[in-house]
Structure 1
Amino acid sequence: MNKTQFFLGILLAALLGGVMAVGLMQYFDTGRPATTAFQNDRNVQLSKFLSDTSFIVPDGINFVYAAEKVKPGVVFIRSTYNGSGRGTGSSNPLEELYEDYFGDREGRERRGPSRSSGSGVIISADGYIVTNNHVIENADKVEITLDDNRMYTAEVIGIDPTTDLALIKVNENNLPYVDFGDSDDMNIGEWVLAIGNPFGTLTSTVTAGIVSAKARNINILQDRNGRQIESFIQTDAAVNQGNSGGALVNLKGELVGINTAIATPTGSYAGYSFAVPVSLVRKVMNDLIEFGAVQRALLGVSIRNVDASLAKDEGLDMVAGVYVEGVATESAASEAGMKPGDVILEINEKKVGSVAELQELVARNRPGDKVKVTYSRNGELTKVYATLKNTMGDTEVVRRQEEVQMEGSIFVTPSAETLEELGIEGGAQIISLGEGKWSDAGLKEGFIITSIDHEKILNASQLEEVMQSKSGGILIEGVDLEGKNSFYGYGW
């Protein structure tokens, strides 16, 4: 036996002796805790992790379990656009960024039918599938192909451009689906898998990475009213064109995000990808299934991140939370007593460290829900309950109506109650105002167009029909939600 072996033997014996001594002390001295509360919590967490051996193998982490469990629930999506498709006249707010960030757009500039492709995740046995809005937006036909090569035509149930999510459905039962996980429990450094269909040909592709960051805002979603929700999970799992709408899962095979974008100067994977967290996905999907429309809840504040510069300028006693620059009148925040200068620290007792985190935590709720807001004012903590409101300033449920999309904006026929309240016969109401001619003309969200060039508009479909033949200067007449009649002239 050499000196090294002798030394290691003594060291091992000493360690074993120490462990036995501690064990005996704990056995005979049951009245005294052997570890601190913090250590106990960590030991419980470690015990739970080690007891779940479904994804651990002798040689290390096992990606096979999650991949085999999830792959059957991830689908290939082919969207078809008649005529010039997306190539002309589209005002999709993601359009200019599409090639850099998103799925394969085959023949985008060609005349005649064009196609794009992406991925989707089956979330129920009866055929509901979640994907990205940009994968299917304005498509005339949406086809999906399962992992076992079965093909179906899908119906679009609803979309939410502010989160870039969409819900589609196929008429089938007993489909394999992916279980929801909990994105709140995801830790930075944790392993994840991205499963999708990159480049439109590489079906059921699995890549691995770690969670690099959470609550990332990369400013790719655009909304005229600033209501886009960007609180992405950032990973270094390889995601490429066509992966959009695919699954980001943990090693238990649970869905933790929907892959949405990549950071790249070339259009191909260059190191980081981004996914909508499942905490938000679940809420949006439930809304679309139950109501056909997303129930967007607003706190009614304009906000910015707190950094060292802002803290110094505003005399804040901490560099934390989200700074309230303004509070809308009659908003949830205003009615709860909040004021400009407050610093929001928690929503429902969950810490808020950025604008993205705050937006996500609020967006998980529906109008009428009460959230507990913890904020600091002049160094003093205050906790209040704020009743969230919808985009129209009340707590009513917004139900799906027949939608017409034109020039980046979405119109519906106003409800009978709205028509009666405003004393008008009919019209086409703007429910989502995007970049395009309608916003350039000065119209606002909620405005109801009642005539074009003195021709009555009774519903959204009629507006679409009338505008097909319009060019040059037009006269737009309508009313806002307070009954004020207005005219707008615009060169179409």
Structure 2
Amino acid sequence: MPRFSKQFLRENFLGLSLTMIGVLCLVLASVMYVGHRSYANIVLADGQALSGPDISLLEQLNKAYERVAQAVTPAVVYISTTQVMKVQQSPFFSDPFFRRFFGNMPGTLPQKQILHALGSGVIVSPQGYIVTNNHVIAQASDIEVMLSDKRNFKAKVIGTDKETDLAIIKIEADKLPVASWGDSQGLKVGDIVMAFGNPFGQNFSVTRGTVSALGRSGIEPGGLENFIQTDAAINPGNSGGALVNVRGQVVGINTAILSGNSGPGGEGSFLGIGFAIPSNTVKHVMEDLIKSGKVSRGYLGVLVSNVTPDFAKEFDVPDTSGAFVQNVEPEGPAAKSGLQNGDVVRKYNGKDVADAGALTAMVTQTDPGSTAALSILRNGKPMEIKVTLGERPANAGAAPNRGQAPSGSALEGISVQNLTPGMRDQLGIPANVNGVVVSDVDQSSPAAEYLQQGDVIQSINRQPVHNVNDFNKLAGEAKGQVLLRVIHQGQGFFVVISPGPGDGGGQ
């Protein structure tokens, strides 16, 4: 390599000097940058925490909530279900006679649709009985339960009760942790409660809130409702989980929310208003389901409403507490005991009756055949009446001129109404044809594959159906497989409907 001459250095001194200065600037900039990045002074807080009697009180509250969570969580389970539904355009296409002439037409064969759902449950006995919501396991072909220790089990349905949206399932396990049960009658508005469950599949979550209201109804029309309202966060997946008081006792089973339907997949999410079934209702239902697979409820035989200020003034009642008797069913238990229209029931077996819903809940939680003591006001005068309760009919809650098949049968989920002249004209039903019109079919019903709105049911198990009363009676008596005679779009045909998985109850 040639050496640089003095003449070269003299001729290029200025350029070399500028180059050296540039290199030095780059080196200095790099050193400063690295030093800044590597040796910046970071000042951390000294870690001192707040203290004092008020902070100690909060710490004690935290520890109390932790105790409740640790005590209850082992008794809460994660439930996942699989449901196989058949999707079919018309019941005609399942008729062998029809297919003999027309064959299997494209797009008309039953298509299987597999649905998955998540929910929660509460272990109620060491032998594996679990209470959950009926809507969590309704029509499920497969039910899996995961415990808090991550063990998984297959579950079978022991019994369901659509009127209260409760169900009992069972897993083959023993020595399981169980939840402690409290008295929901003792709850007060403002009490602190905690909600346990699996919201959106987030396993074994706990939220905290207060009791916002008691005795809520009108949430799910057609059911027996006396809900606890809470602002403890309840979301899809919490259904069937526990609502617990500060003593770690289950006082309700989470069942519903009011929402804006803004969640994933169109599901609703929490807006601060959730509902739970009171534990006293749950205990009555689950004991009957475990014992016999069905629920027996007391029946008073009256139509009641809340006491309005106008009623209170007209019937000389000092306030609006109690249940106002609008109508007494002839020859019913109340009529036989002397209860009259216009009476106001203020106490039931010594307990205050807040409103009509409270009385209905108290009566239905009492076994048929029991004697109930009623404290009433009749035109302002206090009276005591004893009533021997009957058994609540399967369709006691149905609206006039409308019928609904009872839960646990192949016809579950079918709602009907009387066939009016206007409906005959619209549906093309001759005047000499009797029956009831299908007004709604729940898509989880075994009948959903065969019946649609506007179909006319003429007979059940070869017994004629002239009106809603006939339908209620025959649907209540129908067990197992059911034969229907149906008119669909002017054509009559027979349909055989079998109970779906989990229907019929029993052990």
TM-score range, shorter chain: 0.5 to 0.7
The 2-side partners of 1:407 and 1:307 are apart by: 34
Alpha-carbon distance in 2 for matches of 1:174, 1:282: 21
Once residues 360 and 343 of structure 2 are traced to their aligned partners in structure 1, the CA distance between those partners, rounded to angstroms, is 16
Residues 377-416 of structure 1: pairs in structure 2 closer than 5 A: 377-392=378-393, 403-408=409-414
Q: Provide the rounded CA distance (Å) in 2 between the counterparts of 1:82 and 1:261.
A: 24
Which letter does structure 2 place at the counterpart of 1:377?
Answer: R
* 8 Å Cα contact 1:233-1:274 kept in structure 2: yes
| Residue aligning to 1:213 | 213
Q: TM-score, normalised by structure 2?
A: 0.65
The equivalent residue for 2:177 is 176
Compared with structure 1, are the counterparts of its residues 290 and 406 closer, same or farther at alpha carbon in structure 2 (3 Å cutoff)?
A: closer
Shift of 1:448: 2.9
Match runs of 1:285-434 below 5 Å: 285-314=286-315, 316-392=317-393, 403-408=409-414
- Please give the residue correspondences for 1:19-34 in structure 2 after superposition, counting only pairs within 5 Å: none
Cα offset, 1:174, TM superposition: 1.0
In 2, the alpha carbon distance for the partners of 1:376 and 1:438 equals 46
* Aligned equivalents of 1:458, 1:233: Cα separation in 2: 34
How far apart, in 1, do the equivalents of 2:170 and 2:481 lie? 24
Q: Closer, same or farther in 2 for the Cα pair 1:149/1:409, shift >3 Å?
A: farther
Measured at CA, do residues 247 and 287 of structure 1 come closer, stay the same or move farther in structure 2, by a change above 3 Å? same
Decide which moves more: 307-316 or 153-162.
307-316
Post-superposition offset of 1:458: 9.5
Check if 1:74 corresponds to 2:80: no
Secondary structure of 1:386's partner?
A: strand
Whether the 8 Å CA contact 1:407–1:438 is kept in 2: the answer is no
Match of 1:245 among 240, 247, 262: 240
Q: How many residues align?
A: 359
Q: Given the superposition, is the C-alpha separation of residues 440 and 195 from structure 1 closer, same or farther in structure 2, using an over 3 Å criterion?
A: farther
- Tell me by how many angstroms 1:181 deviates: 1.2
* Structure 1 residues 401 and 325, CA gap change in structure 2 (3 angstroms): closer
Q: Look up the match of 2:276.
A: 275
Q: Provide the TM-score with structure 1 as the length reference.
A: 0.66
Would the alpha carbon gap of residues 353 and 406 (structure 1) be closer, same or farther in structure 2, given more than 3 Å must change?
closer
Contact 2:160 2:408 in 1 (8 A): no
CA shift, 1:240, in A, is 0.5
Contact 2:254–2:275 at 8 Å: present in 1 too?
A: yes
State the shift of 1:147 in Å: 1.2
Q: Secondary structure at the match of 2:377?
A: strand
Q: Is the 8 A contact 1:299 1:389 kept in 2?
A: yes
Is the contact between residue 332 and residue 388 of structure 1 (CA under 8 Å) also seen in structure 2? Answer: yes
SS in 2 for 1:463: strand
Alpha-carbon distance between aligned partners in 1 of 2:439 and 2:286, rounded to the nearest angstrom: 22
1:242-268 C-alpha deviation (Å, 9 max, x unpaired)? 101000011221111001111222311
In structure 2, the CA distance between the partners of 1:348 and 1:140, relative to structure 1 (3 Å rule), is same
C-alpha change, 1:259 and 1:462, in structure 2 (3 Å) is closer
Whole-angstrom distance in 2 between the partners of 1:222 and 1:376: 30
**Alpha-carbon offset, residue 194 of structure 1:** 0.1
Pair 1:255 & 2:250 matched:
yes
Identity of aligned residues (%): 37
Give the letter aligned to residue 80 of structure 1.
T
Aligned partner of 1:63 among 62, 65, 83: 65
Alpha-carbon offset, residue 401 of structure 1: 11
**Is the CA contact (8 Å cut-off) linking 1:65 and 1:251 kept in structure 2?**
no
User: Deviation of residue 323 (structure 1)?
Assistant: 0.7
> Distance in 1 between the 2:127 and 2:254 partners?
23
- Structure 2 unaligned residues grouped into runs of 5+: 1-56, 91-110, 262-267, 395-405, 417-437, 442-452, 458-466, 495-507
- 1:253-291 deviations in Å (ceiling 9; x for gaps): 111100111122231111121110101100000111112
Tell me if 1:191 matches 2:192: yes
Preserved contact between residue 297 and residue 390 of structure 1 (Cα < 8 Å): yes
Partner SS, residue 312 of structure 1: helix
Tell me the CA shift for residue 330 of structure 1.
1.6
Q: Tell me the CA shift for residue 206 of structure 1.
A: 0.2
The answer to whether the Cα contact below 8 Å between 1:82 and 1:140 also exists between their aligned partners in 2 is yes
Aligned to 2:474: 448
Letter of the structure 2 residue corresponding to residue 350 of structure 1: K
Letter in 2 for 1:408: I
Is 1:234 the counterpart of 2:229 in the alignment? yes
Q: CA deviation at 1:209?
A: 0.6
Q: Answer yes or no: is the 8 Å Cα contact 2:317–2:377 preserved in 1.
A: no
| CA RMSD across the alignment | 3.3
Alpha-carbon distance between aligned partners in 2 of 1:259 and 1:88, rounded to the nearest angstrom = 36
**Partner SS, residue 82 of structure 1:** strand
1:203 corresponds in structure 2 to: 203
1:320 to partner: Cα distance:
2.2
Task: Report the CA distance between 1:409 and its aligned residue.
Answer: 6.6
CA contact (8 A) 1:132 1:164 kept: yes
Q: Which moved more, 1:306-315 or 1:256-265?
A: 306-315
Secondary structure at the aligned position of 1:361 is classed as: helix
Q: Gapped runs of 5+ residues in structure 1?
A: 1-55, 90-109, 394-399, 411-432, 450-456, 477-492
Pairing 1:6-155 to 2, within 5 Å after superposition: 59-60=60-61, 62-84=64-86, 112-155=113-156
CA 1:406–1:260 in 2, change beyond 3 Å: closer, same or farther? closer
Matched AA of 1:78: S
Shift of 1:236: 1.0
Q: Distance in 1 between matches of 2:152 and 2:488?
A: 40
Task: Report the equivalent of 1:461.
Answer: 481
- Give the direction of change, closer, same or farther, for the CA distance of 1:439–1:376 in structure 2 (3 Å limit): farther
Q: Distance in 2 between the 1:212 and 1:286 partners?
A: 28
Supply the AA of the counterpart residue of 1:404. A
Give the partner amino acid of 2:85.
Answer: G
2:212 aligned partner, one-letter code: S
Q: Distance in 2 between matches of 1:370 and 1:73?
A: 36
- Residues 182, 406 of structure 1: CA spacing in aligned structure 2 closer, same or farther, 3 A cutoff? closer
Shift of 1:459: 6.1
Question: Do the aligned residues in 1 keep the contact of 2:348 with 2:374 (CA within 8 Å)?
Answer: yes
Whether the 8 Å contact between 1:234 and 1:272 is mirrored in structure 2 is: yes
Give the superposition deviation at 1:407: 4.8
Higher deviation after alignment, 259-268 or 236-245: 259-268
